[in-house]
Each structure stands twice: as structure tokens, then as C-alpha cells.
Amino acid sequence: MIAFDIQDMTCGHCVATITRAVAAVDAGAAVRFDLPAHRVEITSGTASADVLSQSIQDAGYTPVAASATPTAAPKKGGCCCG
């Protein structure tokens, strides 16, 4: 499992965009979101953390490799919800 904290992921639109970005590099990846914590966990059979991170960046977000435990309080802001 590969986890990213994405502080600029704030809404359902962000989730859909990131899901499409991940699917573009690994169609079989399982993606799980914790929107309030701004966290995404990806189980990928073919894509590396670097490839997944780059695909999320290319979609307009700022993924940061996450530790095994979710981080503290999320920040406000993001794509279209500001």
C-alpha cells in the first residue's frame, strides 16, 4: 500500500480527478480516500510510488508520501472549493 497526504484535495471533484489520474497509470489499482484527513491510500500491482505521485501531480495536486499513521488536522483550501 502506498499512501499520500494531499492537503489540496478537498472535495468529491478532487477525489474523482485523483482516481482518474491513478487509473491512467494502473487501471487495476485500488484507491481509498479519507477526505477529511486529506489522505489517499493506493494498492497498486504495477505502478511505483514515484509513478503514482507524478500522475497525481500532473492532475494538479501536491501529494506528499505519508507515514503509516494518518497525520494531524487537515488544512483548508484546494482546487475548486477554496
Whole-number pLDDT of residue 24: 96
Whole-number pLDDT of residue 71: 45
Between helices 12-25 and 49-58, what is the axis angle to 10°?
130
- All structural domains of the chain, each given as residue ranges with its CATH number in brackets, are 2-65 (3.30.70.100)
Structure pTM?
Answer: 0.80
Helix (H, G, I), strand (E, B) or coil at 15: helix
Enter the C-alpha cell of residue 30: 485500488
Sign, CA dihedral 15-17-22-24, equals positive
pLDDT in tens, 4-54: 999 999 999 999 999 999 999 999 999 999 999 999 999 988 999 999 999
State the average pLDDT for the chain: 87
Q: Taking the CB of residue 18, how many other CB atoms lie within 10 A of it?
A: 24
Decide: 3 and 66 in contact? Cβ < 8 Å: yes
pLDDT of 79 higher than 90: no
pLDDT of 68 higher than 90: no
Percent of the chain with pLDDT over 70: 82
